[in-house]
């Protein structure tokens, strides 16, 4: 195990980073390799050679029995070849730039390798692509349970929880707008912005209609001041985490321009969403809410093919087995 590695390299938002890490961890566990968490060049830092993982998370020596390197030791380790995917067998200078088509090719190659459940001959497997949906939910939950943000971030989460969450029925709403960024697969959900806002409002109304003796609060997380202003106008009892936004249409929040504080705010929101009673995901394709969606009791998502359809997913207890099962309810919004 000590001479064979899986490297999880990501520079994107935390949702993608953690989900892709779960896929890499799952493969490392299955093939008895050491896992390397390499978040150098993170979009949350302006220090390209600093590994962002120990900046935002407590360092770990292992994750559920898989040994881990997650600090700046990665700058000193000589990883053994051969490498998989084969691109990484090129001279180092040739690997500095990878066009998008190469990244997508590697994503597919890694996906096939993971799906095969087989090992490979490579000394080092390099996972430098988005690997969402390339592992099961047990692997994702393992990662989310094993990793802890730094003490500073956890203290911020607890302070906001005590002030706004305790004693309330909190509905978490995540709205990924893009704010001028190319949001690729999320774009169809914003084909009609006014329709999108109506969908979000209908989802909030659905969540509020559920019987609960506690007073209701709505917790909004978004990357757009336009979304914040529009939803605030129609949604009473709404609160947010104070944070800096980019200027209107100037791009996403995961940007080195916002620095360390931008990354902290993202993790505070991510972990608070996981402690809501109901989670509303718009769009449901955003990796940012993947963590919360695995742990909250109820999730409301949207049907792209029929904008009037709201999909409520609830965890219910099986009376015979005692196991938790997912129950889906499809409702037509007005």
CA dihedral 88, 45, 225, 227 (to 10 degrees): 30
Q: Domain 151-332: state its class.
A: alpha beta
How far apart CA 187 and CA 130 sit, in angstroms, is: 18
Same fold flag, 5-146 and 151-332: yes
- Cα gap 292→271, rounded to integer Å: 7
What CATH number is given for 5-146 in this structure? 3.40.50.11340
Which helix (H) or strand (E) covers residue 278, if one does?
A: strand 278-282
Count of CB atoms within 10 A of residue 101's CB?
Answer: 8
Cβ atoms 260, 207 nearer than 8 A? no
pLDDT, one tens digit for every residue, the chain (334 residues): 458 999 999 988 899 999 999 999 999 999 999 999 999 989 888 888 899 999 999 999 999 999 999 998 888 888 999 999 999 998 876 667 788 899 999 999 999 999 999 999 999 999 999 998 889 999 999 999 999 999 999 999 999 999 999 999 999 999 988 765 656 677 778 788 888 889 999 999 999 999 999 999 999 999 888 889 999 988 888 999 988 777 666 566 566 666 788 899 999 999 999 999 999 999 888 899 999 999 999 999 988 777 678 899 887 433 443 334 454 555 555 4
Q: What is the pTM of this model?
A: 0.88
Domain residues of the chain, as ranges? 5-146, 151-332
């Amino acid at each position: 195990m000590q001479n064979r590695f899986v490297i999880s390299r990501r520079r994107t938002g935390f949702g993608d980073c953690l989900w892709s890490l779960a896929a890499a961890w799952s493969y490392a566990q299955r093939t008895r390799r050491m896992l390397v968490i390499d978040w150098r060049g993170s979009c949350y830092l302006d220090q390209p050679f600093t590994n962002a993982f120990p900046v935002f998370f407590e360092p770990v020596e292992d994750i559920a029995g898989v040994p881990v390197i997650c600090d700046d030791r990665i700058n000193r380790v000589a990883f053994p070849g051969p490498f998989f995917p084969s691109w990484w067998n090129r001279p180092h200078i040739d690997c500095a730039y990878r066009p998008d088509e190469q990244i997508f090719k590697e994503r597919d190659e890694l996906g096939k390798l993971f799906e095969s459940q087989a090992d490979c001959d490579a000394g080092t497997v390099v996972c430098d692509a988005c690997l969402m949906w390339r592992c099961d939910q047990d692997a994702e939950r393992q990662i989310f349970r094993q990793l802890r943000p730094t003490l500073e971030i956890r203290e911020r989460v607890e302070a906001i929880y005590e002030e706004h969450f305790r004693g309330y029925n909190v509905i978490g709403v995540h709205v990924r707008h893009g704010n001028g960024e190319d949001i690729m697969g999320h774009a169809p959900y914003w084909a009609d912005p006014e329709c999108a806002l109506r969908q979000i409002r209908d989802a909030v109304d659905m969540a509020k209609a559920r019987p609960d003796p506690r007073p209701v609060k709505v917790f909004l997380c978004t990357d757009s001041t336009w979304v914040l202003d529009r939803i605030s106008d129609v949604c009473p009892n709404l609160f947010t985490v104070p944070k800096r936004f980019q200027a209107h249409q100037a791009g996403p929040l995961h940007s080195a321009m916002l620095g360390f504080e931008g990354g902290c705010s993202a993790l505070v929101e991510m972990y608070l969403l996981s402690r809501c009673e109901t989670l509303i995901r718009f769009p449901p394709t955003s990796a940012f809410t993947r963590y919360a969606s695995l742990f909250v009791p109820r999730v409301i998502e949207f049907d792209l093919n029929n904008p009037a359809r709201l999909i409520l997913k609830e965890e219910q207890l099986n009376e015979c087995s005692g196991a938790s099962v997912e129950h889906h309810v499809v409702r037509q919004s007005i």
